[in-house]
Structures are given as C-alpha cells and as structure tokens.
Structure 1
Amino acid sequence: MSDETMTDAPSVLVCWTTVSEQEQARAIAQALLERRVAACVQIDAPIESHYCWDGRVCCETEVRLVIKTSVGQAARLKETLRALHPYEVPQIVMLRSVDVDREYARWVDEQTG
C-alpha cells in the first residue's frame, strides 16, 4: 500500500480495555452504544492478564472489550470510559486503523456521529 493510499484511506479507532467481570463489560458496552461514542463493542472472555501492581506481579482473569469508534469520538470515548470504569487505573489503549473497508468506516461514522 502506498503512502498516498494510506493517507486517503478511511480511518476507524480501535480501543481496548479490560474489566474483572462479564457484567461490568456488558454494562460499559451498553453505555458506550447508548451514548453513541462507540459503533461496536466486542467482549472477549476469559483472558489472563499478567502485570505488576503495587510492587508485586499479578495474574488475573479479565474480560476484554474491543471498541470501535470514529476518530472524532476519541476524547469522548476516553472520558466516558474513565467515568464508567471500575478500575483505579483503567487500560485505555487506542489505535488508529491503517486500512479499513470504506463501507465499514462509513457505518462507524454514522453510528457515532
């Protein structure tokens, strides 16, 4: 793919976060969709997370949310996730797509516009 093609390509943001329980994930997904800050939320469970917290190595079972939104909703999505999230320091990682189907990108924009 050339640089020109990538510059002209439509874009979608993909955001990852995790919570400890399936019901928390469902509640967050529902709120994001109702507030139109996400077009789609996929929930993966269980996943196993390994991390350091308060000076110790931890291993926990978590539930992952994969959230798709438009570029224009990035700030609102972060703000909404921080307000809804049960964790003291939530994982909020966003990546901008390099190449996405135009019709899918249009649908994401419509759902979050």
Structure 2
Amino acid sequence: MRPAGSSSAGGPSASRAADTELERVALRWAQLPVDRALRAYPALRRLVQELADETARVTGQPQEGVPDLGPAVVIDQLRVMIYDRREAGLPDEAVRERLRAVRRSLP
C-alpha cells in the first residue's frame, strides 16, 4: 500500500499539486451562488464521469454511469474518482490540469 498523498503515477509532488487544485475547486464551488452552481454543474459531472470511465478502462472494469446525486455531492464524487485513479496508477499531472481548467470555467 502506498502512503497517503503519494502515487505510483507522478509521485508525491504531483499528488500534492492535484490535491491543492482539487481543494481550490472545492472552495470555489462552495462560494458559488446556487444559480451559478447549477449552470456549472454539468461541467463537473462530465469531469467526474470522464475520470470514472478512464479508471474503468485501465482496470478492465465495465464503464458505468456515476449516479447523479446532485450539486451538493459532486465535489465528493470528484474526490472519490481522483482517489480511484490513483489506486489504478493513473497520473495526477493530467488531473491537475483538468481540475485547473474546470475551476477557471466556474462562473
């Protein structure tokens, strides 16, 4: 088992950078008024599903839809998908960039 905060794909510094960007997304998400969050929600859902699909491909699992549990839970789903990617050995560098892009797209 790898230590918390490390990854076989990118190492601890890549994991910390992705974690930092994830927390920035979460903070920005928490600050959004409801109407803006609802407009931005589909982009976060897409990212969650894309991460789930990529992880499924690498691990040989069937691709399944991530349940739509609404805007209040989407950040938690994003955290889970990032954790699952790490466990599958996928690199954190690409996730960091995608998180940055989604954060910058938030209204």
Identify, as 1 or 2, the structure richer in helix.
2
TM-score using structure 2 length: 0.36
Larger Rg: 1
TM-score using structure 1 length: 0.35
Identify, as 1 or 2, the structure richer in strand.
1
